[in-house]
Structure 1
Amino acid sequence: MIFGNINYDKTNSVLPEDIKKCFEYAKENNLLDFEKGSHVIDGDDFFVNIVGYDTTVKEERFWEAHRKYIDVHIMLSGEERIALNFIENLEQKEFQEEGDFLPLEGDAVNSEVVLRSGDFLVCYPEDAHMTALKAGEEKSSIKKAIFKVIIK
Structure 2
Amino acid sequence: MVFGNIRDLKDYGYLEEEVLKCFEYAKTHDLLNFEKGSHEIEGDNLFVNIVEYKTTTPEERFWEAHRQYLDLHLMLRGPEQIDVNFIDNMEQKEFVEKDDFLPLEGETNSHVVLTEGDFLLCYPKDAHRTAVQVKEPVMIKKAIFKIKIK
Above 0.5 in TM-score?
yes
Partner in structure 2 of residue 48 of structure 1: 48
Mapping of residues 109-148 of structure 1, within 5 Å: 109-136=108-135, 138-148=136-146
Superposed CA deviations along residues 80-102 of structure 1, whole A, max 9, x for unmatched, are 00000000111100000111000
Q: Distance in 1 between matches of 2:147 and 2:10?
A: 22
| Distance apart, 1:7 and its partner CA | 1.4
Partner in structure 2 of residue 70 of structure 1: 70
Q: Distance in 1 between matches of 2:99 and 2:109?
A: 25
More helix by share: 2
| Distance apart, 1:9 and its partner CA | 2.6
Mapping of residues 30-41 of structure 1, within 5 Å: 30-41=30-41
Q: Distance in 1 between matches of 2:31 and 2:137?
A: 22
Partner in structure 1 of residue 149 of structure 2: 151
Partner in structure 2 of residue 89 of structure 1: 89
| Distance apart, 1:14 and its partner CA | 2.3
Unpaired stretches in structure 1, ≥5 consecutive residues? none
Superposed CA deviations along residues 86-123 of structure 1, whole A, max 9, x for unmatched, are 001111000001110000012x2111000000000000
Runs of 4+ in structure 1 displaced over 4 angstroms? Answer: none
Letter of the aligned partner of 1:74 in structure 2?
A: L
Partner in structure 2 of residue 10 of structure 1: 10
Q: Distance in 2 between matches of 1:9 and 1:69?
A: 21
Superposed CA deviations along residues 31-78 of structure 1, whole A, max 9, x for unmatched, are 011111111100110000000001000110000000000000000002
Q: Distance in 2 between matches of 1:2 and 1:140?
A: 24
Letter of the aligned partner of 1:49 in structure 2?
A: N
Unpaired stretches in structure 2, ≥5 consecutive residues? none
Report the count of equivalent residues: 150
Q: Distance in 2 between matches of 1:139 and 1:113?
A: 16
Partner in structure 2 of residue 61 of structure 1: 61
What secondary structure does 1:44 align onto? coil
Q: Distance in 1 between matches of 2:18 and 2:25?
A: 11
Aligned-pair RMSD on alpha carbons? Answer: 0.8
